[in-house]
Structure formats: structure tokens, C-alpha cells
Amino acid sequence: MAGIVTRFAPSPTGRLHVGNIRTALINWLFARKAGGRFILRLDDTDAERSTEAFAQAIREDLAWLALAWDGEERQSSRLARYEEARAALAAAGRLYPCYETPEELEVQRSLMRGRGQAPVYDRAALKLSPDERARLEQEGRRPHWRFRLGEESVVFEDLIRGPVRFEPGHVSDPVLIRADGVPTYTLASVVDDIDFGVSHVIRGEDHVANTAVQIELIAALGGGPIAFAHHPFLVAADGAGLSKRKGSAAIAELREEGIEAMALVSWLARIGTSDAIEPAYAMADLIAAFDLAKISRNPPHYEPGDVAALSRRWLHGAPWEAVAESLDVLGLGEGGEVFWRAVRGNLDRLEDTRGWWAVCTAPLAPHIEDAAFAAAAAALMPPEPWDGQTWKTWTASVGENTGRKGKALFLPLRLALTGREHGPDLAALLPFIGRERALARLGGDRA
């Protein structure tokens, strides 16, 4: 597996969604497990729709998910290289000019479908004489250029789907240069894969037919062998495809909703595989478990509720080391590991830690249901310092002196001390509340 290079090649024309990131993650895990390289390539030849803002958003999404890339490339900076490739193909007689308009091509495809035929380009442009081409150009038509495919079957071993075979005539000769002179995805992608030493192209199953074309184009340009794998799409709960243009399941939105990055990565790494979906706390664990052979050929479904539930499970089991830095950013690191372990089981989002820290340290309106009971409990409150045993010692004394037990004992104290009926174990919270605040809350003063 030496020399493994994968790439993630988004177009900066919109925000990434979970389906895009799943492709990035599969490529990243494959490269990391092999000790190889993972390249971020921005396919930005669509100048009208590509923006630097979207490019930066792609970087931010990958960085948030800890999918570090080993190099970044941009197709817009490589137009001269694509022109070299075009010239080489033209010199080899593999490119030919075509003059059909998009509307004429669509009519041809419709007619072929109506006759039950595959809508494959009929190579009519190859039959044009030099005079006919000259006349069309005099009419103002500018040609687009197609790559002439060979007459041999294309066979390759897909690392997910298994053996794939394309017979000649089942795929149209691809357009490599548009009428405006801009290279298409097909040419630019193949040239980049060759130049950057990409060893494995791992992408969605909609590219299977493209792969047959690209294998021929790689050979025509003198490139070495490249392995291909095509995974099923991640689809919405109703089976519809996800789309960054529609903003479905955008990574930025999930981040804003408080979904934990590592929980999302855990879910994406295991959905649609034979592995159980469990929260992981280290990328090394996901890398060790990754295997293309585990990926099912059935499309996995994206259920937002499942991702949110896994994010909560991740928080409830997260060790201090996994959250310490994030809590420092939130200004909540003061409580340390003891506080984190006390509250983590009651969180839906990491941000909720802020609320429990406020319960312990901020002014709190009293919730006194029985003033006499509260006064008795306050009178029995032990002196500081407090530790994890203080709650047990204190409530035992209060119960013995008041005759209360169970819910009648514990719920009024919880309400008075926290203002909430449910929450973390008060044995852990009480030392953070402290004796002064606890006395004030039981006595009815604001503190």
C-alpha cells in the first residue's frame, strides 16, 4: 500500500453536506490507514458559480471534522496544463470538433430514447467534410471537442462494487473542451489525477460510467494505473438524494446545532458498513477499523435524529481529554474533570455545560416549597471543606432530624439548590455550589 494518494475534489459552488463529507472521510481514512496522502482539490473551473467564500467554507468544514489534508490544489490555476493535454490528444487524433447545439443534442437523445435506444452520441461530427465544418463556423458556431473512445471493452475491478465492464458504444464520446474553450471536468480531473500521483479514486456511484471513459483517457495521456471505488450515495430518509444546492444536511448547520464533530465522523464512518455505529473518541480507532470491504452496496439513509442521538451518546461518555479544549474556549474549564464527569450525562449539547455551571455559581432565585424544612436543612449543613461525601452525610442528618426520606427528602433540596427537578448527582455538584450559596438558597436570599 506504499505510495497511496487519495483526493477529495469538491466544487466551491455551495456548502458541503453530509454526503459530500462521507466521501471525503472515506478517502481520508483509506489514505491514513495506508500511511498515504490525502489531497484537497478544488474543482473550480466553473468561474460563474465558484466563489472563494465557498472554498473557505469547505476548508472550515474539513478542519472542524479533523480531516487534515496534505496538499491543496485548484483547477483554475492549471488551465495551461489542460491546454497541453488537449494539444497532445489532438496531435494523437483522439479529439474531434462537434457543432451540435445543446438543444439539437437533446432532441437527438429524446429520439433515441423514444426508439428504446441508449442516448449515446452518434459521432455524426466525424462525417463532416472540411467544407461543412467551415460553413458551420461561418454561421457562428463554435465547436466543442469530444474524445474518441476506443472499440475495446473497458473492464476494471471496482474496490467496492466488484468487476465492472463497459462495452464499446454504450457510452458517448465525452466532451473534453466546451465551445467556450474551457476544459470539462473529465479532462481536468484526469490530468490532475495523473500529475498529482493519485493512486485511488474513491467517489460516488454516479461516476461509474465516467470511470470507463477516464480509464481510456488516462491511457491516452500516458498515465499509470489508478484504482477506482464507487460507494452508494447517502440519501435522505425518504430516499431522495442530498444536494448542497438545496442546503440539505449542510455541515455548517450541524455545527451550529451543536452536533459534536467526532460524533458526526463516527456516524459517517460506520453508516452503510457492517460495523455497529458507536461513538469513537479518537480518529485512530476509526482508522484501525476502516476497510472498503465493509461498505455495503445499498444506499445508507441519513436520519438527523440518529446523528443527534449519537452526538448525545458521545457527550455522555466523553472523557475529559476529549472536551477540555472546547470547554476552555467556552470559558467553562474552571470546573475541571470533576465537574465535567458530574454534568456530562445531562447534556444534549456541549454548550449546555454553561447552564449547569451557572446553576452552581450564578445567582439563583430560591425554590422553597416548605420554609420550615428548608430552615431545618440549613441548620444541619456541615462546615466546609466539602467533598463527594458531603451530600450523603448531610442528607442523612436532615432525614434523621425531619423524618423525611426518598423523594420527600431529596426533591425539595434539589429544587432549592438548583431550581430544577432533575439533573446531575448533587453529591458532585454540591462542592461547586459551596456552603454560602447553599445556605442562601435554602434561606430564601438571592445568591
336-343 and 426-443 helices cross at what angle (nearest 10)? Answer: 90
Distance of CA 335 to the CA centre of its chain: 32
Q: Which residue is it, cell 489532438? A: 90
pLDDT single digits (tens) 13-51: 999 999 999 999 999 999 999 999 999 999 998 888 999
Assign 3-class secondary structure to the chain: CCCCEEEECCCCCCCCEHHHHHHHHHHHHHHHHCCCEEEEEECCCCCCCCCHHHHHHHHHHHHHCCCCCCEEEEHHHCHHHHHHHHHHHHHCCCEEEECCCHHHHHHHHHHHHHCCCCCCCCCHHHHCCHHHHHHHHHCCCCCEEEECCCCCCEEEEECCCEEEEECCCCCCCCEEECCCCCECHHHHHHHHHHHCCCCEEEEEHHHHHHHHHHHHHHHHCCCCCCEEEEECCCEECCCCECCCCCCCCEHHHHHHCCCCHHHHHHHHHHCCECCCCCCCCCHHHHHHHCCHHHECCCCCEECHHHHHHHHHHHHHHCCHHHHHHHHHHCCCHHHHHHHHHHHHHHCCCHHHHHHHHHHHHCCCCCCCCCHHHHHHHHHCCCCCCCCCCHHHHHHHHHHHHHCCCCHHHHHHHHHHHHCCCCCCCHHHHHHHHHHHHHHHHHHCCCC
Q: Which residue is it, cell 464507487? A: 230
What whole-number distance in Å separates Cα of residue 423 and Cα of residue 180?
Answer: 64
Q: Which residue is it, cell 416548605? A: 370
Contact by Cβ (8 Å): 310, 263: yes
What whole-number distance in Å separates Cα of residue 229 and Cα of residue 222?
Answer: 21
Residues paired with residue 162 on neighbouring β-strands, in sequence order: 158
pLDDT of residue 250: 92
Confidence of residue 447 (pLDDT cuts 50, 70, 90): very low
Mean pLDDT score, 404-412: 96
Mean pLDDT score, 405-415: 96
pLDDT of residue 243: 67
Contact by Cβ (8 Å): 101, 179: no
Q: Which has more pLDDT, 357 or 246?
A: 357
Contact by Cβ (8 Å): 31, 4: yes
Mean pLDDT score, 313-325: 96
pLDDT single digits (tens) 131-151: 999 999 999 999 999 999 999
| Percent of the chain surpassing pLDDT 90 | 86
Contact by Cβ (8 Å): 142, 183: no
pLDDT of residue 279: 97
pLDDT single digits (tens) 64-93: 999 999 999 999 999 999 999 999 999 999
Q: Which has more pLDDT, 446 or 301?
A: 301
Residue 244 scores a pLDDT above 70 = no
Residue 146 dihedral angles phi and psi, to the nearest 5°? -105, 150
pLDDT single digits (tens) 163-188: 999 998 888 999 999 999 999 999 99
Mean pLDDT score, 304-312: 96
Residue 154 scores a pLDDT above 70 = yes
- Whole-structure pTM value: 0.91
Closest-CA residue to 171 (of 214, 114, 142)? 214
Residue 245 scores a pLDDT above 70 = no
Mean pLDDT score, 384-395: 96
Residue 404 scores a pLDDT above 60 = yes
Residue 198 dihedral angles phi and psi, to the nearest 5°? -65, 125
